[in-house]
Amino acid sequence: MLRFVILASSDAPAEASLAAASVRRHHPEAQVSWLMTDPRAGAASFVAPGDLVTFAHTVTLGELDATDLLIGLSPAAMRWGVLPAVVGGLLGEDPEATVVTMSATSELFGPLDDLLARADGATLLLPARFDRGARSVAGGWIPEFGIFGPRSRGLLTWWVAEARRWALRDDVPEEDRRSPWRSYLDHAPDLVIGGEGRYRVHPVAVDELRLDIAEADIARSLVDGRPLAVLHAPEFDPLHPWRYGDDVAVSDIDGLRALLHHRANSLRAAGWTPRADSTAPVAGWRSGEVLAREYRRALRAAAEGAERPPNPFRSGEVARFLEWSCARSPSSSTGVSRIADDLWARRGDLDHAFPSVRWRDRSAFGRWLWTSGISEGEISLAVLPDPPAPRPMPRRTPRAERPFGVNLIGYHGSDAGLGVAVRRVARALDAAEIPWSEFAYDRTDSRQRDRGTTRPADAPFRVNLILITADQLPLFVADAGREVLEDRYNIGLWYWETDVMTSSQRASFDLVDEVWGATTYLRDVFAAQTRKPVIHQPIPLVFPDTPDRATARRRLGFDDRFTVLFSFDFLSISYRKNPLGLLDAFHRAFPDGSARLILKSINGDRRLDEKEELADAVAGVAGAELWDRYLDGDERLALVAAADCYASLHRSEGLGLTIAEAMAAGTPVIATDYSGTTDLTVDGSALLVDAVEVEIGSGHYYPPEGHWAEPDLDQAAAHLRRLAADPELRERLAAAGRRSVARFDPRRVGDSMERRLRVAAGD
């Protein structure tokens, strides 16, 4: 008897239905069983009458149960651990029985007859990566897919014992906990390796394969020259068909885009809805390595006669589990508690901030837990240690005794916009001959240049000028110590991109004496939030000289097409930057691909999902290209100079540095007529795109009640066509753009800063 076991979750019925339908289509003789893998699973609508249903969390492994594996290892390990017990029960003593296991996120495109014949009653697994020449396996096995026959009983018995052994081990690597279908099975009894590519269309192996996808009839597609048999699509979301695994760049693999769009269409036709979070939380924890290790140690001790550790998934044990979490283990890294040890292990920056956490810095770490730990959501009130003792006040130097000058605090080593801004402010201070001291802060995701470690003693002057985002300012104060603000006049030079600030940002007004806005838009945003002084203070906009356009185009190998450029950082919220809107407008302007659009980005590897969404859209627009990489200084300047147009259809900008850079290079600009860029795009210096101010709504980084703009894409397309057809217009815009940026030279800005700084310092 042939039986398929589908590992399913009750909150993903479309995936489960599609998997079952594919099994019944290609193996109508088989019986379908279900292994429900989420602890909250109930009766599932996709289970047909007569199908056998097993709930994973009810399966036991000797004295252990599935939730012990869930806590001590991972959800993936729980599924892995209970699978052999379930399969063994289905095989029973039937000499003709065969069980095929597969995830509900997989889909059959053909029968598995050749794999069933190859297994021949033994166990057959599909390797993640397979070297045909060496007949060797790397990266373990494709999770949840296997064929088990009468000769599998020895392996299944060994597998159950292995799962129990893992639950009691200290040394299970995190990678194995997350994906336990590893190569340890290489030496298991009666194991057959299935190496054919057509069964391995899975994120861990897809880059090895040659896909020949028949878009008109996916069932006729080929993998490595043979008919497609199985698609494995874990965590696939049809709203994001450019996403396939954590590290797969769909845009780099020919044919994969069409296959995933087919799957997305099939799921939507099956009634797909967004999946609810079915992972039961572990009380008070964010389920890290420390919890897993400590729980496994406690299980091992229980196996040797100690008291069994409390399990929060068992009725009546949550309170004892919290007590166990707040207790200090003998091997504690912090000397505080198990849950504090877990936080310490997850946050590498804490070791730098509190190097002697078990001794001299333990009180400081406790204060961090009660302040930043709570505000950052890293620890809950239920598991905090005892309140820390008050910290003694350091000796203070009155403000009047400090010399006039500026402690320039910011991301001095960052390549992001705020790093550029702080270096430009330094240039203005130099131009005005204002003494200043560098105070470098480095808690940012952007690429950093090493600036060394800065301490409060490196802030000797009377005024702090702080170029740190308002939401990050409390983190800076926690990291550097509040004494860096004391007995100084504190000015926040902030940036933001909408008219509503978050509660954490508004709280930062309490940490400064006044705020500077680099544009009139920013001044108005900040002034609406506080009664403290808010000053419009521009920053310098001076850029390196760029090559002439002809030289730049030759260097980059550009052809004669009208070329549009837009540059952005994925870490700066790509939805706000709106490259998809520009792509749409470009397609409306040049549907035949007669022009060229270069979307130049960085950090796409840090926001792979957003990058792949854009790459997926770019693939459907003739003439469009995505360049996601860092360029050296000369290449970047040449790219700006070589473009015929710089277009920014942003929803909002605090300043708009890339627009200013294009203007300084003499590249004509098309820009949304909204937010901070309007200080630049004056007096005919750009073609402006009308926009409708709208509420941001939920699902974005910014407050949902805030506002930004939706630019008119038809008008943007008309501007693109007009600019492409009118060289004289391009020349006029280039000259006007240079004049606009020239107003923000360092000496003029520095003089303005000095006047305000003298007032702030009391001179």
Q: Where are the domains of the chain?
A: 2-269, 308-383, 407-536, 549-743
Lowest mean pLDDT among 100-114, 235-249, 482-496, 522-536: 235-249
pLDDT at 134: 46
**Fold match flag (2-269 vs 549-743):** no
- Give, for 227, the enclosing helix (H) or strand (E): strand 226-227
pLDDT at 624: 97
Backbone angles phi, psi at 640, to 5 degrees: -65, -40
Q: Look at residue 138 and give its three-state secondary structure.
A: strand
Q: How many CB atoms within 10 Å of residue 75? A: 20
Euclidean distance between CA atoms 731 and 727, whole angstroms: 6
- Inform me whether the pLDDT recorded for 296 exceeds 70: yes
Using CB atoms within 10 A of its CB, is residue 187 exposed (0-12), middle (13-18) or buried (19+)?
exposed
Percent above pLDDT 90 for the chain:
50
pLDDT at 209: 87
Pair of tokens at residue 393: 């006040």
- Inform me whether the pLDDT recorded for 750 exceeds 90: yes
3-state helix, strand, coil in the chain (%, to 5): 40, 20, 40
**Residues constituting the chain:** 763
- Inform me whether the pLDDT recorded for 602 exceeds 80: yes
May I ask the CATH class of domain 2-269?
A: alpha beta
What global pTM score does this model have?
0.68
CATH number of 407-536: 3.40.50.11930
CA dihedral sign, ordered 263, 38, 139, 134: negative
Pair of tokens at residue 442: 């480095």
Contact criterion met (CB below 8 Å) for 114 and 227: no
Euclidean distance between CA atoms 518 and 541, whole angstroms: 11
Lowest mean pLDDT among 283-292, 321-330, 486-495, 607-616: 283-292
pLDDT at 444: 56
Cα–Cα nearest to 79, from 304, 189, 234: 234
Instruction: Give the mean model confidence (pLDDT) for residues 114-132.
Output: 84
- Inform me whether the pLDDT recorded for 409 exceeds 90: yes
98-103/64-65 β-pairing: unpaired
Euclidean distance between CA atoms 757 and 514, whole angstroms: 11
- Inform me whether the pLDDT recorded for 30 exceeds 90: yes
- Inform me whether the pLDDT recorded for 182 exceeds 80: no
CA 159 distance to own-chain centroid? 35
Instruction: Give the mean model confidence (pLDDT) for residues 75-85.
Output: 88
Where does the pLDDT of residue 47 fall: very low under 50, low under 70, confident under 90, or very high at 90 and above? confident
Tell me the range of 124-128, 208-212, 663-667 where mean pLDDT is highest. Answer: 663-667
624-628/98-103 β-pairing: unpaired
Euclidean distance between CA atoms 108 and 92, whole angstroms: 26
- Inform me whether the pLDDT recorded for 172 exceeds 80: no
Q: Which fold has domain 549-743?
A: Rossmann fold (3.40.50)
- Inform me whether the pLDDT recorded for 145 exceeds 80: yes
Model confidence pLDDT, tens digit, residues 641-690: 999 999 999 999 999 999 999 999 999 999 999 999 999 999 999 999 99
Cα–Cα nearest to 500, from 729, 695, 719, 296: 695
- Inform me whether the pLDDT recorded for 278 exceeds 80: no
Instruction: Give the mean model confidence (pLDDT) for residues 585-607.
Output: 95
- Inform me whether the pLDDT recorded for 505 exceeds 50: yes
Euclidean distance between CA atoms 477 and 460, whole angstroms: 17
